[in-house]
Amino acid sequence: MLSGKRVLVALALMLAAPLCQAVVILQYHHVSETTPKVTSVTPAQFKQQMQYLAENGFKVVPLTTVVDTIKKGEDLPVKTVAITFDDGYRSIFETARPILKSYGFPYTLFVSIAPTAKGYREMMSWQQLQQLAKEGVTIANHSYGHEHLIRKLPGETESQWLARVKQNILDTEAELKARTGQDVKMLAYPYGEYNTALQQLLTQLGYVGFGQQSGAAGPYSELTALPRFPAAGVYAEMNTLKVKLLARNMPVVSSSPTNPELAAGQWQPQLRVTLKLDDINPSQMLCYLPGQPATAPQWLTNDTFMIQAQKPLPAGRSRYNCTVPSKQGSGYYWFSQAWVRPDDRGQWLAE
């Protein structure tokens, strides 16, 4: 996060200088005034956001284009944005779709099979999803039943868990292909939860993975953990969203640990990150950790820093976020490390 003062300074600087090669991927769920506020953007807010993109020189591209460009190691055009929705809620079809069509913006919909197959009232029907596919909307994988994919069943071994999750992903992809004709091999992790073993599985299957940790995607991103910026709930506010839309891809050379799933009792992870510092002044970096004020990291060498939470991270999902302005005065580099842990008894939170 950025303080109010840093937001105003960042906007002033970014309007005056060119941007780096990076893409911001926006994440939405509901576009409605009556759904849970934490995952919702109102129709008025959504239209304001899309209008801002259209009127300020942003190029909205298909998510598949973003992935192909990163895979090829090619430069991404400045001010590039991709739009994604998770879950397949009806409000996307009824409310977001007309707005997006009015601007000609492409978008991607990550869908779980079971909620749609069961005909839940708030979900799109297969007929609506097929209509979107005909209109050129990308339909992609969000697991079969929106499961917490990293959670093992009681008594389940590592190999049994991997086999079950693999089948889940493949069954979902097969159903999407049969229903929509699309087979793009992109998975948005439900709840943004993933671990190293799941990332390795995606690599073996030829998939790209998307989390819910923040940051701009680009040449330094992992293809099995591409970041997205939530743009709903408390994150829908335009002043802060404008800064995120111009975020840079943090030039991370290496980081450790990279596994978001914390080992038992290791609730205060010590994160070490090595950066390419061509366009970064280390003294200007600030990190935002759960339950503590903005903190300057500890620099272990001229290009490697360390950060660690002052107290145990809460059960569930957390993030370490770090930002630093470009020396060119044109935007903030943004890095986010996701974490997830059970409670002290080893039990996952009920959701």
* Whether residues 325 and 211 fall in one domain: no
Does 145 reside within a domain? yes
Residues with Cβ < 8 Å from 173, sequence gap 6 or more? 141, 183, 185
Q: Is the domain of 223 the same as that of 329?
A: no
111 and 143 together in one domain: yes
> Which range of residues forms the domain containing residue 90?
20-245
Instruction: Note whether residue 10 is domain-resident.
Output: no
> Among 225, 230, 232, 289, which Cα is nearest to 24's?
230
Last residue within a domain, chosen from 227, 245, 263? 245
DSSP assignment of 116-157, as one string? Answer: HHTT-TTBPPHHHHHHHHHTT-EEEE--SS---TTPPPTT--
Chain centre distance of CA 336: 10
Per residue in 48-94, pLDDT (tens digit) is 999 999 999 999 999 999 999 999 988 788 899 999 999 999 999 99
Q: Count CB atoms within 10 A of the CB of residue 196.
A: 14
CATH number of residue 214's parent domain: 3.20.20.370
pLDDT at 329 over 80: no
Provide the token pair at 5. Answer: 């003062």
CATH number at residue 269: 2.60.40.10
What is the rounded distance in angstroms from the CA atom of residue 20 to the CA atom of residue 331? 9
Strand pairing of 304-308 and 298-299?
antiparallel
Tokens of 30: 């509901």
The pLDDT assigned to 19 comes to 41
pLDDT for residue 7 is more than 60: no
**Domain end residue (candidates: 181, 211, 245):** 245
Domain assignment present for 4: no
Count up the domains in the chain and report the number. 2
Q: Is residue 13 part of a domain?
A: no
pLDDT tens digits, one per residue of 235-271:
999 999 999 999 999 999 999 999 999 999 999 999 9
**Cα separation of 305 and 301, whole Å?**
7
